[in-house]
Amino acid sequence: MRAIDMAKGTMSGPQSAFLTSDVVIQLDRIIAATRPLEHVWHQLHPLGHVRLAINDLSPDGAQPFHDEEDTVHAVVNGELYDFDSLRTSLVEKTNYSFKGHSDCEIVIALYKYYGLSFLSKLRGEFALCIYDARTQTFIAARDRYGIKPLFYTFIEVKLLVAAEAKAFLPLGWEPEWDVASLKEAGWNHDARTIFKGVKKLRPGHYIICQSFDSTESRAYWDMEYPLKTQSDPRSNEEMIEGVRSQMLEAIRIRLRADVPVGVYLSGGIDSSVIAGMVTHLVKEQGERMGNDNETERVSCFSIAFDENSGFDESAIANRTADYLGVKYYKKHMNEAELAARFEDATWHCEHHNPDLNYVGKYALSEVPQELGFKVVLTGEGADEQFGGYPMYLPDYLREQDLAYSNPLPEETRKTQCIKTEEENRAYYNSIGADGSDRGQSLPRRMLNDITTVSSMAAFSPDTLFADWTKCYATCDPQLTSAHSIDGRARDKIMSEWHPLHSALYVWQKGHLSNIFLSCLGDRTEMAHSIEARTPFLDHHLTEYVNALPPSVKIRWDSEEQRFTEKWILREASKPFITDELYKRKKHPYSAPTTYPENGPLHKLLSGLLTRERVKRLGFIAWDKVEGLVEKAFKLKNANAMRFAFTVAQWVVIGERFMVKRAEVPLSR
C-alpha cells in the first residue's frame, strides 16, 4: 500500500485504493474492515474492491459483487477455475442471474446454494470475504495452500481483514513487534506474524463472525496421504501417465484470461516443464495464452545473476527457450541491482528472509509488467509435492516404503539414511546455516523422528536477541513447528504416514505457505500488479500426487549410486523438456551469499546496521550485531551475511512501518 490521501480517500502510486470509514481495498487485494454496525450495515456494505482486471474486463466484472436482493456481498482476490461448468450447474439448479462473466462472481451463487460448503467447490488460488446480511454472517477464506495471503487483527471493536498488514495503518493500527513470534519462528510456522496482534489466516481455513460476536477460525481442507503399510497396485507407467494428465489439465485451465499470459522460466525442471507443456498445449492443441490470438506466441521471463556468482541458471533457461521456440525475456541482476531494490522489496514482503532471493523475484516481476503482461505461470510447489529438496532424503530413508512393489534394499536404506543426514548437516553449515541441532529432541519425537523439522529451523537468528528477551522462556523454532501441527495430523504422522509424506506435510505447513508463497510469490509479484498462477498447487493434481508411493517421488539409481529427486515428475515431463533438464539435479533458487568489500551491498548494510538504528528495534543486542557487516564482507562469512541481511530487513520494516520500539513486557 502506498501513501494514502486521507482527505480524498485515495492512494498514490501504481496501486490505487478505495477508502471509507470501514474499508480499504488495495488493487486486487482484499482488505475489509468490519465492526458492530447493525443499524447501518445494510447502507454501508463495508466491502470494497479496486481491480487488477484479469477476466471480464467490462464494468460487469467490477467488485464488490452483490446478489439480486442486495443481501449477500463478496470480494474475491485471485482466480477460480472451472467456473463455466459451475456457473451452468448453478443456473440449472437455482436460476441464479449472473451480472457478468467474471470467474469470481460464482462465489455468491455457490454460497447461497451450498452455504459454508461452497469452499470445497472452489478450484484455484484465492482469498475472499463474504457478508450475508440475512444472517449477519461475515466469512473470510483462504485457498488450500495459502497462495493468496490474508491477515486479520482487531482495533478496538473493529475486525480488520487484509492481504497486507500495511493496509491496517490508516485504520488506526499502531504496529508493535511480536518478539516471542520472532524468537520462536511463530511467524514462519503458526498463525502469528512478526507484528503483535496481527494473525494470518492459515491455508485451507476460513474465519467466521456470526451476529457481530466472536470470531472463529476453522479448517475446510487439509492434505492427506495413504496408509504407509498399504501396497499400491499401480504400475510405474500408469502413475506416470496419471501425473502427466493431471499436470496438463492444471496448466490448461490456467491459460484462460482476458489479458496476456506468460511463463516464468528458470534453469530448473519445475518452470521448464510448465513452459514445455504450455508450448505443447498452444502449438499442438490450439489453446490460447490468455487473450493472445497468435497460437505460436509463448512468452517466458527469467532472471540472471552474475556468471561468476555460482547461482546463475540463465544459460540453461536460454537453451530451454531455444528448444521450445518461445520468446524469451531476461533481466540481469548484479549486486547494484539487488542493493537498489532491497528496501522496497522488504517493505512489500513484510517479513525477513535470510536470502536475497526475494529481491531477485521482486526484480523478475518487473519484466512481465514492463512488457504488458498481467498473468504468469510459475513453478512454486513442485518440490513440496514430489520430494525435490535434499533435506527430505533422510526422512524418505527413515522407514522402508511398503507401498511400493520394488523397495530399496534394507542395507542400502540404512546406510544411505546415515550418509544423507551427514550430508545435510554439512550442506547447512556450508551455506551459513546451523547444521548442528539435528539430534534427538522432543519436536522430533512428536513427529516420528523426521529431521526436516530441524532443517526448517536452520536459519534462526536467536543468538542476536537482547538478553531481556529471555523473559519469553525457552524459544525453540523446532518445537513451534511441531506444536503448529494439529493433533489429528500428528497422530497420522506417528502411525499412518510414511516419514517422507510427514516431512512434506510439515514443510508445506511452514516454509511453503509462510515464506516461499509469500516473499517468493504473491508479495513480490503483486508489488508489480502481476498475478501468478501455480499449476503444481492445483489441488486435483496434489491429491493425486499425495497418494503416490514415496519411491516414485524419490528414486534410488543403483547403477549411478545416487538418488533422483522428483523422479515421477521427470518421467511425466520427459516429452516436454530437454534431456539436459531431465537429467539435471535439483539446484534451489537462491541468491549469492558472498559479495566484495566496499560494494553496493556493503555500503547499504553498513548504513542500515548502525548503533542508533539497531538499538531502535529494542529486541536486538547491538554488541551482538556490531562487527557483523565486517565479518560478512571482509571474512566472507556466509552466516554473518545472512544475519546481516535479516537485521537490516528488520530495520527497514521497523522504520517504514514506524513500529514501536520493543521493551520488556510489564507483565513479565
Residue that wins the pLDDT comparison between 481 and 52: 481
pLDDT at 56: 58
Same domain, 365 and 425: no
pLDDT mean over 177-189: 96
Contact yes or no for 519/527 (Cβ under 8 A): no
C-alpha distance across the termini of the chain, in Å: 35
Same domain, 345 and 492: no
Per-residue pLDDT of 480-503, as tens digits, reads 999 999 999 999 999 999 999 999
Same domain, 118 and 146: yes
Residue that wins the pLDDT comparison between 59 and 546: 546
pLDDT at 258: 87
**Is 158 inside any structural domain?**
yes
Q: Per-residue confidence at 96, pLDDT binned at 50, 70, 90?
A: confident
CA–CA separation, 610 vs 607, rounded Å?
A: 6
Per-residue pLDDT of 99-109, as tens digits, reads 877 888 899 99
Sign of CA dihedral 533, 537, 543, 547: positive
Torsion angle in degrees (nearest 10) through CA of 315, 317, 320, 326: -120
- For the ranges 82-91, 443-452, 529-538, which has the lowest average pLDDT? 82-91
pTM to 2 decimal places: 0.91
Asked whether the predicted pLDDT for residue 534 surpasses 90, the reply is yes
pLDDT mean over 584-606: 83
pLDDT mean over 549-575: 95
CA–CA separation, 131 vs 67, rounded Å?
A: 11
Name the most confidently modeled range: 84-88, 193-197, 258-262, 475-479.
193-197
Same domain, 317 and 426: no
pLDDT mean over 54-59: 66
**Is 181 inside any structural domain?**
no
Asked whether the predicted pLDDT for residue 17 surpasses 60, the reply is no
59-95 as b/e: b if 16+ CB within 10 A:
eebbbbbebeeeebbbbbbbbbbbbeebbeebeeeee
Q: Per-residue confidence at 290, pLDDT binned at 50, 70, 90?
A: confident
Number of structural domains, the chain? 4
Same domain, 165 and 261: no
Same domain, 347 and 402: no
pLDDT at 22: 32
Final residue of a structural domain among 583, 617, 633: 583
- For the ranges 94-98, 379-383, 529-533, which has the lowest average pLDDT? 94-98
pLDDT at 44: 38
**Beta-carbon contacts of residue 55 (< 8 Å; ≥ 6 apart):** 61, 79, 101, 102, 103, 104, 256, 257, 258
pLDDT mean over 50-79: 78
**Is 441 inside any structural domain?**
yes
289: which DSSP letter? S
**Is 371 inside any structural domain?**
yes
Cell of 228: 504407509
- For the ranges 89-103, 565-579, 585-599, which has the lowest average pLDDT? 585-599
pLDDT at 459: 87
pLDDT at 519: 93
CATH code, domain carrying 267: 3.40.50.620
Residue that wins the pLDDT comparison between 468 and 440: 468
Question: By residue range, what is the domain housing residue 258?
Answer: 236-380+517-583
Asked whether the predicted pLDDT for residue 5 surpasses 50, the reply is no
- For the ranges 282-291, 304-313, 486-495, 525-534, which has the lowest average pLDDT? 304-313
pLDDT mean over 298-327: 82
pLDDT over 90 percentage in the chain: 69
Asked whether the predicted pLDDT for residue 218 surpasses 80, the reply is yes
Asked whether the predicted pLDDT for residue 85 surpasses 60, the reply is yes
pLDDT mean over 605-619: 98
**Beta-carbon contacts of residue 370 (< 8 Å; ≥ 6 apart):** none
Residue that wins the pLDDT comparison between 407 and 174: 174
Same domain, 153 and 75: yes
Final residue of a structural domain among 535, 555, 583: 583
Asked whether the predicted pLDDT for residue 509 surpasses 70, the reply is yes
Per-residue pLDDT of 114-129, as tens digits, reads 999 999 999 999 999 9
pLDDT mean over 268-293: 90
Contact yes or no for 212/529 (Cβ under 8 A): no
pLDDT at 311: 59
Which residues sit opposite 18 in a β-bridge? 25
Q: Is 106 annotated as a binding residue?
A: no
Per-residue pLDDT of 353-380, as tens digits, reads 999 999 999 999 999 999 999 999 999 9
- For the ranges 459-463, 485-489, 540-544, 545-549, which has the lowest average pLDDT? 459-463
Residue that wins the pLDDT comparison between 102 and 635: 635
Same domain, 465 and 540: no
pLDDT at 657: 98
Asked whether the predicted pLDDT for residue 442 surpasses 90, the reply is yes
For the chain, give the mean pLDDT: 87
Provide the pairing of β-strand 554-557 with 199-200.
unpaired
Q: Per-residue confidence at 13, pLDDT binned at 50, 70, 90?
A: very low
- For the ranges 24-33, 229-238, 487-496, 569-578, which has the lowest average pLDDT? 24-33
**Is 668 inside any structural domain?**
no
pLDDT at 440: 86
Q: What DSSP assignment string belongs to 201-248?
A: PPTTEEEEEETT--EEEEES-------TTSPP---HHHHHHHHHHHHH
Same domain, 25 and 166: yes
pLDDT at 46: 54
pLDDT at 57: 62
CATH code, domain carrying 95: 3.60.20.10
Q: Is 303 annotated as a binding residue?
A: yes
Cell of 29: 487485494
pLDDT at 64: 82
Which residues sit opposite 555 in a β-bridge? 564
Asked whether the predicted pLDDT for residue 51 surpasses 80, the reply is no
**Is 492 inside any structural domain?**
yes
CA–CA separation, 206 vs 216, rounded Å?
A: 8
Same domain, 10 and 53: yes
pLDDT mean over 64-86: 89
Same domain, 80 and 166: yes
608-637 as b/e: b if 16+ CB within 10 A:
bbeeebbeebbbbbbebbeebbeebbeeeb
Q: Per-residue confidence at 43, pLDDT binned at 50, 70, 90?
A: very low
CA–CA separation, 231 vs 245, rounded Å?
A: 23
pLDDT at 583: 86
Final residue of a structural domain among 477, 511, 545: 511
103-134 as b/e: b if 16+ CB within 10 A:
bbbbbbbbbbeeeeebbebbbbbbbbbbbbbe
Asked whether the predicted pLDDT for residue 42 surpasses 50, the reply is no
pLDDT at 593: 75
Element counts in the chain: helices (H) and strands (E): 28, 21
> Residue for cell digits 447461497?
112
**Is 667 inside any structural domain?**
no
Asked whether the predicted pLDDT for residue 388 surpasses 80, the reply is yes
**Is 229 inside any structural domain?**
no
pLDDT mean over 400-404: 96
pLDDT over 70 percentage in the chain: 88
Asked whether the predicted pLDDT for residue 249 surpasses 50, the reply is yes
pLDDT at 34: 34
Same domain, 400 and 289: no
Which residues sit opposite 531 in a β-bridge? 375
